[in-house]
Amino acid sequence: MVCFPNCKLNIGLYITSKRADGYHNLETIFYPVKGLKDVLEVVPAETIAIALHGKTVAGDKYDNLVWKAYQLLKQDFPNLPALSIHLLKNIPMGAGMGGGSADGAFMIKLLNDYSALGLTNEAMISYALQLGSDCPFFIENTPQYATGRGEVMQPVGIDLSAYSIQLICPQVHVSTAAAFKMIKPKPALFDLQKLPELPIEHWKDVVSNDFEAPVFAQHPELAAIKEQLYAQGAIYAAMSGSGSTVYGIFAKGHKATINTHLTYEEHMV
């Protein structure tokens, strides 16, 4: 069985408070980007095994959220069959697009279908949250207004299919933990639940990402990429998550030509 975990973008991201459990409360809109995907396949096997493929593979394969998702469900479903798991990584890692979270969440959905576990979306979201704060979104995988750690979600009516989205993914590592330490939580500057009522041409005036100021201060080349996107016609441009991906939303068929000394990947979706 094969599935294709996709990435996401954050449209607006506000860190509103520090929680007693050490996490942060946030407000954001998660938007699925289905033009950039990993490939996840499972086949029957005598013993459980995992193999990672692709240029963005890094780290211990047993730390991968796909492996952790299998082990998590195995605790409650001991008859889960042994599988040979193959993951082809296309989504850049550590880029603020949730590639690893998507892989873990899609593994939960795949195992639910493959082994007919009968899990509801609510149950799968509960498992996904144990893997990471971004993971529950990929169970729904539709535009969502998210609060809490990101797991409290409401569908939001945003459709960007009439536009082109340019993803610039520099090979700049931004530590999410370090980025959070640079943030002073404060109330959201804009109510993102109202975003569907706001013409996209006005997003740049009111919608922001709290991580941009501290991350851009450390990596001004990322700020320069955002400036180039706007200078060349982006209707809206922002950093996704804690970075380092910077994206621009353009009229259909348009894009920017980015001039930077950074090594980066570019995707049009």
Q: What is the pLDDT of residue 174?
A: 81
Q: What is the pLDDT of residue 54?
A: 84
pTM of the model as a whole: 0.94
**Structural domain spans, the chain:** 2-155, 163-268
Give domain 163-268's CATH architecture. 2-Layer Sandwich (3.30)
% the chain with pLDDT above 70: 98
Q: What is the pLDDT of residue 58?
A: 64
At the topology level, CATH places domain 2-155 in Ribosomal Protein S5; domain 2 (3.30.230)
Q: What is the pLDDT of residue 57?
A: 66
Residues 136-175 have pLDDT tens digits of 999 999 999 999 999 999 999 999 999 999 999 999 888 7
Residues 186-233 have pLDDT tens digits of 999 999 999 999 999 999 999 999 999 999 999 999 999 999 999 999
Residues 11-31 have pLDDT tens digits of 999 999 999 998 899 999 999
Q: What is the pLDDT of residue 176?
A: 78
Would you say residue 128 has pLDDT above 90? Answer: yes
Q: What is the mean pLDDT of the chain?
A: 95
At 56, the pLDDT band (50, 70, 90 cuts) reads low
**What mean pLDDT is predicted for residues 45-56?**
88
**What mean pLDDT is predicted for residues 77-94?**
94
Catalytically active residues are 8, 134
| 11: Cα separation from own chain's centroid | 11
- Is residue 225 exposed (0-12), middle (13-18) or buried (19+ Cβ within 10 Å)? buried
Q: What is the pLDDT of residue 157?
A: 97
Would you say residue 55 has pLDDT above 80? Answer: no
**What mean pLDDT is predicted for residues 260-266?**
93
Stretch among 118-132, 137-151, 172-186, 251-265 having the lowest mean pLDDT:
172-186
- In angstroms, rounded to a whole number, what is the distance separating the alpha carbons of residues 226 and 237? 6
